[in-house]
Structure 1
Amino acid sequence: MEIEKMWIKGMDVSFLDEIEQGGGTFHEGPDKVDVLELLQRSGTTSIRLRIWNDPPGGYCNLERTLIMAKRVKELGMHLLLDFHYSDKWADPANQWKPAAWEGLRGTALEQAVYDYTYEVMAVLRAGGALPDMVQIGNEITNGMLWPDAKVDPRAEAGADEEPWARLCGLLKSGASAVQAVDRSVRVMLHIDRGGDPEGSLTFFERMEEQGVPHDVIGLSYYPWWHGPLEQLERNLQDLSLRFGRDIVVVKTAYPWTFRTREGFPLIVENDEALPSAFPVSAEGQQAYLKALTDIIRRTPDGRGLGFYYWEPCWIPSHQVWSVGHANNWSNLTLFDHDGYPLPALYIP
């Protein structure tokens, strides 16, 4: 599948394996359905899966990721694999080494990244589930594999370059492993600064200077954390024109309700930080996603490849182990609390 010619309407369903095992179900009309098949019928073209090295509980490890990846590829959908290089969440506030790598430093850590990336890719290829695109790290604005490659994105160029050199060495190792398995797989670098044009430019300028190989720029964008849509549009335009690379908004979401089920708190529980143009309702969520896709499609030279909606299927069916707390995302899904699709799912 040639990604350059395909609009990515993507869904991150990394929790789905656990949700299904815990008894969560999804519906189309009166019938229970395989939600991956429903996503495909709704126009989804790509699925994103995260992988953790050795997570407690076992979900999102290599064994379970292979099972999920096979389901995706059997449906003929494009697959993005998101390496966290951790046993748990990796994001701007958490980039902790997997336990097995705690004592590794320098070239030994780079080799561990290479070997692990190669192993995962080889296993997926052998299982008929080779990803089409791979992220080397997740939201690596502040670096990865702390403390070794923890960086300050606000530091001026020339100030304490050693952490940046360590980060870039690790990224090069991961990218090299992907290319060694199959050179057709596209490599993405992903940061969380969708609404921060200056910060995004600074980060990717460093990647250029250090010669980190990557085909795609990935940005997270949540309006309550990252500012107005106008800032995202400016960022997409600036990055496209500066670097000539394809760009994906690789994480986004919007609330459809403030109603919740008992025992399930909400991470977005009011509209104080939300754009007033999009009321919190099923229709408001749909309007937000339509506005977002319009902005991405306006990226110069057709470089805006599309988006991934983060955890559209994370319905409040049970207490997932993976986050260490109850599901706080149940009003940000693309399915209602009972697993029925919302209108935004059908945005083209």
Structure 2
Amino acid sequence: MKRRTALTAAVAAPALAVLGSGTAASAQTAFARGADISSLAKSEALGGTYMWSDGWREDAIWILQKSGVNWIRLKVWVNPADGYNNKTHVVNVARRARAAGLNVLVDFHYSDSWADPGQQTKPAAWANYSVAQLKTAVYNHTADVLGAMVAAGAAPQMVQVGNELNGGMLWPTGRYDQLDNLAQFLISGANAVRATVPAAKVMLHLAEGGNNSLFRWFFDAMRARGVTWDAIGASYYPYWHGSLSGLQSNLNDVASRYAKPVYVVETAYPFTASDSDGFANIVSAATPVSGYPASTTGQSNMLKAIANVVKAVPNGRGAGVFWWEATWTAVRGNGWDPADPSSGNGWENQALFDYAWKVTPALKTLGTL
């Protein structure tokens, strides 16, 4: 994601036993019912709580697991201003998730803050690096984080090399008009994944899940330059990224064209149009998409519709759906800007916990896809 406005305009059985230290991750084949919980560690540190609908408090990770979620996703920043979404916190949350039997997808941004189609800023420490130095930095950073996860018994099952790569990464050196460089950076990251966690799948990820020409352009260009991957991830926010039919056409095409599983690895929808923290919501319309009001019912129904699209991809290649920032509730200090503790959230109306800290019905929907 994606600060489009703020930054850039039934208990399910655990999927795996906990891995011992140094054990390679096992690639999973069951449909992924995933939740990105990158904001969770900071929320908890600042007093955020999570509850069932009857008001019973529990660890958010166990609420997700008991609701049927089988994957979590965590982003990694290089040197974030607030000290969250870094190696230490990713390892700690991943260890908790693995203890709950959940699979882990790690999302490398290769930035100190948000990386998305509107910005892919180099980490400050890498700002003056040459292409060769950037390749080495990508490898070392990826291997360092993943190595720490393996050592902690929290090896991931899948790894994103880059986030929403529509415009490339590590701008301007790896921008969309520097495809040879971009390919080298992606090869370097993928090599680090395969050297450190050989069983983990490598995912490449674009936004605009309904934009087939974009996906063909990117993946054709990377394939021609020797980049290899195991899974394709798409962000699909229905109020930004076109119709469900467009998403279906694109996923069907890329799954066949590249013979890889496809995931909607980011999606969300509001359970209300109202605001909780005094900071304007990024999506505030009463009915962001026709037929799907900003309500608990609308949130659940949109998730079902998106999951149906993914499950309809031919040859079983529709592999899963991840809800973006399921636990990003309105907790003071846990806003969008890691450098500004007074920044607001703007996303709390799209979490899977409501303004009373209780689960929304869409969480059960996600867990029973």
State the shift of 1:262 in Å.
Answer: 4.7
Runs (5+) with no aligned partner, structure 1? 153-162
Partner of 1:17: 41
State the shift of 1:261 in Å.
Answer: 2.2
Contact 2:106–2:159 (CA under 8 A) maintained in structure 1 = yes
Contact 1:221–1:251 (CA under 8 A) maintained in structure 2 = yes
Partner of 1:160: none
Q: Relative to 1, partners in 2 of residues 1:198 and 1:120: Cα closer, same or farther, differing over 3 Å?
A: same
In the superposition, the TM-score normalised over structure 2's length comes to 0.89
Mapped to 2, the partners of 1:27 and 1:96 lie a distance apart of: 37
Aligned pairs for 1:36-55 within 5 A? 36-55=61-80
SS of alignment partner, residue 346 of structure 1: helix
In the superposition, the TM-score normalised over structure 1's length comes to 0.94
Tell me the amino acid that sits aligned with residue 61 of structure 1. N
Aligned pairs for 1:161-172 within 5 A? 163-172=178-187
Of the candidates 15, 32, 45, which is equivalent to residue 57 of structure 2?
A: 32
Tell me the amino acid that sits aligned with residue 294 of structure 1. N
Aligned pairs for 1:87-126 within 5 A? 87-126=112-151
Partner of 2:220: 205
Mapped to 1, the partners of 2:356 and 2:333 lie a distance apart of: 15
Partner of 2:355: 337
SS of alignment partner, residue 225 of structure 1: coil
Partner of 2:3: none
State the shift of 1:4 in Å.
Answer: 4.7
Partner of 2:208: 193
Cα deviation code 1:194-222 (max 9, x no counterpart): 01011111111112111212100010000
Mapped to 2, the partners of 1:286 and 1:322 lie a distance apart of: 25
Contact 2:51–2:57 (CA under 8 A) maintained in structure 1 = yes
Aligned pairs for 1:237-276 within 5 A? 237-271=252-286, 274-276=288-290
Partner of 1:142: 167
State the shift of 1:182 in Å.
Answer: 2.3
Mapped to 1, the partners of 2:78 and 2:356 lie a distance apart of: 32
Tell me the amino acid that sits aligned with residue 196 of structure 2. V
SS of alignment partner, residue 33 of structure 1: coil
SS of alignment partner, residue 335 of structure 1: coil
Mapped to 2, the partners of 1:237 and 1:263 lie a distance apart of: 41
SS of alignment partner, residue 251 of structure 1: strand
Stretch deviating more after TM superposition (276-285 or 11-20): 276-285
Cα deviation code 1:43-96 (max 9, x no counterpart): 100000001011111011111111111101111110000000111110011101
| Residue 312 in structure 1 maps to residue 330 in structure 2 | no
State the shift of 1:264 in Å.
Answer: 2.8
Partner of 1:328: 346
Aligned pairs for 1:37-76 within 5 A? 37-76=62-101
Q: Relative to 1, partners in 2 of residues 1:61 and 1:53: Cα closer, same or farther, differing over 3 Å?
A: same
Mapped to 2, the partners of 1:238 and 1:173 lie a distance apart of: 27
State the shift of 1:321 in Å.
Answer: 4.8
Contact 2:336–2:345 (CA under 8 A) maintained in structure 1 = no
Stretch deviating more after TM superposition (260-269 or 183-192): 260-269
| Residue 215 in structure 1 maps to residue 230 in structure 2 | yes
Contact 1:264–1:316 (CA under 8 A) maintained in structure 2 = no
Mapped to 2, the partners of 1:261 and 1:167 lie a distance apart of: 40
Cα deviation code 1:260-281 (max 9, x no counterpart): 2252311011157x32121221
Runs (5+) with no aligned partner, structure 2? 1-15, 17-25
Tell me the amino acid that sits aligned with residue 142 of structure 1. G
Tell me the amino acid that sits aligned with residue 359 of structure 2. P
State the shift of 1:343 in Å.
Answer: 0.8
Partner of 1:287: 301
Partner of 1:158: none
Count of aligned pairs between the two proteins: 337
Q: CA RMSD in A?
A: 1.3
Mapped to 2, the partners of 1:168 and 1:329 lie a distance apart of: 33
Partner of 1:156: none
Partner of 2:314: 300
Mapped to 2, the partners of 1:143 and 1:249 lie a distance apart of: 19
Cα deviation code 1:207-266 (max 9, x no counterpart): 211121210001000011101111101111111111110011010001111112252311
Stretch deviating more after TM superposition (45-54 or 96-105): 96-105
Contact 1:315–1:338 (CA under 8 A) maintained in structure 2 = no
Partner of 2:251: 236
Mapped to 1, the partners of 2:286 and 2:274 lie a distance apart of: 13
Contact 2:27–2:199 (CA under 8 A) maintained in structure 1 = no
Contact 1:228–1:275 (CA under 8 A) maintained in structure 2 = no
Q: Relative to 1, partners in 2 of residues 1:191 and 1:185: Cα closer, same or farther, differing over 3 Å?
A: same
